[in-house]
Amino acid sequence: MKSLFKTVILLLLFTGYMVLAQNITIDREIKKIDSLIENYQFDLAQKKTDSLYKQSNRFDQTKTGKSRQLETRFRQAVLLDKKEDSSVESLKILLNIMDDAENAHLYSLSCRIYLMIALAYEKSENFELTNYYLNKAYKKYKDHHLEELYSTYCIRRSSYYRFVNKFDLLYSYAKQAEKYAEKYNNQKDLIDSYLLMGVYMSKSKNYTKTLEYSFKILQINKKTYNRNQLAIDYNNISYIYVKMRNYPKALLYSDSAYVFYKDKDLLYKDYLSESRYKAFEGLGNTDSAYYYFKQYHQNIQILTAKEEKLKIKKLEKQYLSDKREDTIKDKDNQMILIGSLLAVIAIASILLFGKNRQINNRNKIINQQLGELTQLLKQKQYLLSELQHRVKNNLQHVISILEIQKESADFNNIEELIRGNQNRIHSMALLHKKLNVSDNVNDVDFKRYITELSEIVKESYDNHQKKINLNINCDIETITIGKALPIGFILVELISNSMKHAFKKRNIGIINIEIIKGKNEQKHKFYYSDNGDGFDFNQANDKGLGLEITKGLIDQIDGTIETKTDNGFELIIYFK
């Protein structure tokens, strides 16, 4: 009898020891899973969680065993939430274990479940249910003093206020999350708090502060050395530098993002090419900007197509999960369920049709932008070639004039020759400055060109001892550079001649310049006059080459002339 009693006692002790050993092993495995999740090793964490859950039927049925089973199931939901298309499956698990956790009085787990459910509804943009479960999580935290979970609650509450556009509350809760995350060494919540405060600062256009939070996130993630996460972090910093218009720094951190990027299915890979093309565009490197813009365009199209394929599937799953909230348990409601499901599919089809129209419109805009970038590149290349050609021709004009003048130059008129040629060069320099390069490389802002050139020539001869008034009127807005250059030279010679000779015997003088646009294909009219001593334009002048140069320039524009010598000098040139 005593032997049997001892055997029973030993058996009970052995069983208790085995249960204890099993519980210790399970706790150790759950901690390993949490560590893997924290270090972004989701695939390995998924394998361990699934393996542990398969053993859940062998867990002891005490409260402790039930707790471990629900904790394992909760981590399955967490891992599903990390996947792009499995958030609805995660929500189904959470809704299924929610009541079990409450009935087992697992307060910490219940609070975490409510926070995860709130996140799921936030992702589906059901903000009413998001707020409802956040309130339940807060009550659980408050009633049972779950201080270690308060940072997670603050993160979820801050994120909620972001979507309902209450940015002051967003920042307030993010700041509290930072404080409690540091206190309880919760690295994930700390990263999320920096991210949310960075959103707030970016919204306020305080990019320096946004950059500070982004660097803090980078320093934390460097410890785990997840390459894809580091690629995202470096690219976020690059994008902030783009907003700050610090394009060299933006390109530097974009280079770092590409070094760490390796996953072809990276969710945010389109943003890598986006920040890169904007940085090159800011630096004026149109070739590289065009290349990365095309890459960004292609990534957006692929991502949009993938989202559309999952649209109806997500809506169907979301419908089933939402019905779980209404506690549908009776089979008599199946017909209503089927009818509602068909309605959801119909609505999804309408939404899909509308979305496709939006995509088509977006593609048209992107293609238009691609065309504009290509046209801009061609225009700049043409502009460079055309300017080189113009400069070469115009310099040849100056060389020709200098060759003519050197034959007649002597010591007494060398200063006058230099000043005259300075004014001719001013004419060409001003002409190139007035080129309208935005639309047509061959067009000149003629009105401004004539006005500014006349003032420059007058000022070069004006000793301010006499009062010479210059009156200018031009109603031709733009003209080709081929016409503008000889007219500018003519104007230089006429004003130079007036300033040098016309007002020797008087202290007050008037120069009138008027250019009238011809109507109905008639010739334009160039009118020039001064009230000086006057001279005969048609009579040969042995004292200088200015008059001969002027006549040659009039022939160049196929002009015809009228002259008067009474009461000063008048010249009318008709040209097309």
Q: How far is CA 123 from CA 86, 229, 300, 354, in A?
A: 12, 20, 20, 21
Q: What three-state secondary structure class fits 225?
A: coil
Q: What three-state secondary structure class fits 145?
A: coil
Instruction: Specify the pLDDT at position 180.
Output: 96
Q: Which residues pair with 471 in a beta bridge?
A: 512
Residues 87-118: pLDDT tens digits? 788 899 999 999 999 999 999 999 999 999 99
User: Mean pLDDT highest for which of 24-28, 256-260, 529-533?
Assistant: 529-533
Q: What three-state secondary structure class fits 487?
A: helix
| Model-wide pTM > 0.85 | no
- Residue range 520-537: average pLDDT? 89
From its phi and psi, is residue 567 left (phi > 0), alpha (psi between -120 and 50) or beta? left
Instruction: Specify the pLDDT at position 327.
Output: 55
The angle at the Cα of 419, spanning 418 to 422, to the nearest 5 degrees, equals 85
Residue 438's pLDDT band (boundaries 50, 70, 90)?
Answer: very low
Per 3-state DSSP, the chain is made up of helix, strand and coil in percentages (nearest 5) of 75, 5, 20
Residue 191 identity (one-letter amino acid): I
CA-based nearest residue to 82, from 136, 133, 39: 39
- For 409-575, CATH number out of 3.40.50.970, 3.30.565.10, 3.40.710.10, 1.20.1440.230 equals 3.30.565.10
Residues 297-348: pLDDT tens digits? 777 666 565 555 555 455 555 555 555 555 545 555 666 777 777 777 878 7
Residues 257-312: pLDDT tens digits? 888 876 554 545 566 788 888 999 999 998 888 888 888 777 766 656 555 555 54
Domain ranges of the chain: 409-575
- Residues with Cβ within 8 Å of 504's Cβ and at least 6 positions away in sequence, in order, are 532, 533
